[in-house]
Amino acid sequence: MQRIETLDDMALGLEALVALDGRLAAVRRAAGDIPLRRTAPGFASLASIIVSQQVSRASADAIFGRLCRLIDPLTAQNLIAAGEEPLVEAGLSRGKQRAITGLAEQVAGEAIDLEGLCALQAEEAIALMTALPGVGPWTAQVYLLISAGHADVFPAGDVALQAAVAQALGWEVRPDASRLALEAESWRPWRSVAARLFWAYYREMRGREALTVG
């Protein structure tokens, strides 16, 4: 199974993507630096992705930073022992409090092995993860992308990816998850690299928009 572990792996994937789809050459030029975006697999990593659901990157970083300061180290066992108060103080919504507490109970009870599932094929790992409360396809796919280093996962439900692909490919309407997933099929077996490419493109796109405001 191909993994994206280093910047050399990323470069290999980018070259392969451009060969697969010539439209991506211009996207690559416009995207600037493309971060590797890897974290160690485990409870803290998946918790951080749950925190980032449907909020801006800045908000997610702030909330998760507070949570890590309040529960240090952030492990499943420590979160359960700490109770509800630090989750509230960190700024987590009720739904995310329930999701992270439920995840902690599953991990502490050894009902799921978040490190071990990184070795599974993506489809099997996603099925196991989405059986957990509060973990949908986007959360599972992002975990496999940044924590497991899977090379061929594409979180088509990601709004930033939808906007970036629409802008880059000249689509008049932002695609929904189904249409974007279908488009991403042409980027196999490097869909994770394509996701990183379009996230970087989105960052540059938003920067250009910000410069034109006012």
Joined together, the tokens standing for residue 172 give 């008049």
Question: Is residue 49 classed exposed, middle or buried when 0-12, 13-18 and 19+ CB atoms within 10 A define those classes?
Answer: buried
The whole domain housing 70 covers: 43-146
Do residues 71 and 125 both lie within one domain?
Answer: yes
Classify residue 2: in a domain, yes or no: no
Residues of the chain with confidence (pLDDT) below 50: 209-214
- The residue among 129, 146, 163 that closes a domain is 146
SS3 3: strand
The one-letter amino acid code at 94 reads R
Please give the pLDDT value at position 212. Answer: 31
Classify residue 1: in a domain, yes or no: no
Classify residue 11: in a domain, yes or no: yes
Classify residue 14: in a domain, yes or no: yes
Do residues 64 and 138 both lie within one domain?
Answer: yes
| Number of independent structural domains in the chain | 2
pLDDT in tens, 117-171: 999 999 999 999 999 888 999 999 999 999 999 999 999 999 999 999 999 999 9
- The residue among 146, 164, 186 that closes a domain is 146
